[in-house]
């Protein structure tokens, strides 16, 4: 028998071991500083230069571009290298799945990427590292070098729609996979969270690896509450070693 198509939906909990904070957890940034949410809300960002300046400082201080893949990211890449078809649907914007070895075409970034910036006027894209160098050199709110428009991170801010093409591709993966693993996500942010339900409705075996309960736990065949850095590699090794009977 062939190997099952494994779809993995990753949320913030996947990257906490890489030093990237969980925004919605008990100690998450939004709970500690509700005002910080304005920095990534499109309407506030576009209307207020001070919000933009604070947003660029937050990006510079976060150091997310220096983060490295952790054991969970590496385990997903290892599963793929072992011959199991893998697709990653991620709510994260850190690019760590690709740094771990997954090709871009197998990673669907539902909320965009923090490794690039985009002009809100002409839509030109460039590297986040380049923009942060300009901030460090004294430009508190760097403008687009092509047209002078407002630059923003190439992430989906609050108040912005998801890319319909990426979402459609992610839904197709959810409908077509045999195993769907939701990792480090509260499964509360729509429409990404609905992918777990779509997978289960289409016959996939649903596995949830998360510290807290999620609304989709009752649909899951297995719920794992152990730390992701050890639980996910163990789970993926088990999947790789188990004969697939369809």
Q: Which residues are annotated as a binding site for Zn(2+)?
A: 119, 122, 144, 147
Torsion of CA 182, 63, 31, 51, to 10 degrees: -120
Sign of CA dihedral 106, 107, 110, 112: negative
The backbone torsions φ and ψ at residue 81, rounded to the nearest 5 degrees and listed phi first, read -65, -25
DSSP-derived secondary structure letter, 185: -
Active site residue 111: yes
The residue annotated as part of the active site, out of 97, 111, 123, 202, is: 111
Q: Under 8 Å CB-to-CB from 163, ≥6 apart: which residues?
A: 112, 156
Q: How far is CA 163 from the centre of its chain?
A: 14
Active site residues: 111
């Amino acid at each position: 028998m062939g190997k099952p198509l494994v779809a993995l939906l990753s949320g913030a909990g996947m990257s906490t071991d890489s030093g990237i904070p969980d925004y919605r957890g008990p100690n998450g940034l939004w709970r500690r500083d509700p005002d910080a949410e304005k920095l990534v809300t499109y309407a506030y960002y576009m209307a207020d230069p001070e919000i933009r300046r604070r947003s660029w400082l937050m990006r510079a201080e976060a150091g997310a571009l220096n983060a490295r893949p952790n054991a969970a990211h590496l385990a997903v890449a290892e599963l793929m290298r072992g011959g199991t078809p893998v697709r990653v649907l991620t709510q994260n914007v850190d690019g760590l799945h690709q740094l771990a070895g997954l090709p871009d075409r197998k990673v669907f970034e539902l909320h965009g990427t923090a490794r690039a910036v985009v002009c809100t006027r002409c839509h030109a894209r460039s590297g986040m590292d380049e923009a942060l160098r300009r901030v460090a050199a004294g430009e508190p709110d760097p403008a687009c070098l092509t047209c002078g428009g407002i630059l923003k991170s190439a992430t989906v801010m609050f108040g912005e729609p998801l890319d319909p093409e990426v979402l459609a591709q992610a839904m197709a993966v959810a409908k077509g996979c045999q195993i769907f693993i939701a990792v480090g996500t509260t499964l509360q942010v729509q429409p990404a969270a609905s992918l777990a339900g779509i997978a289960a409705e289409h016959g996939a075996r649903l596995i949830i690896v998360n510290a807290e309960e999620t609304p989709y736990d009752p649909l899951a065949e297995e719920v794992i509450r152990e730390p992701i850095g050890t639980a996910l590699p163990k789970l993926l090794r088990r999947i790789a070693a188990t004969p697939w009977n369809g």
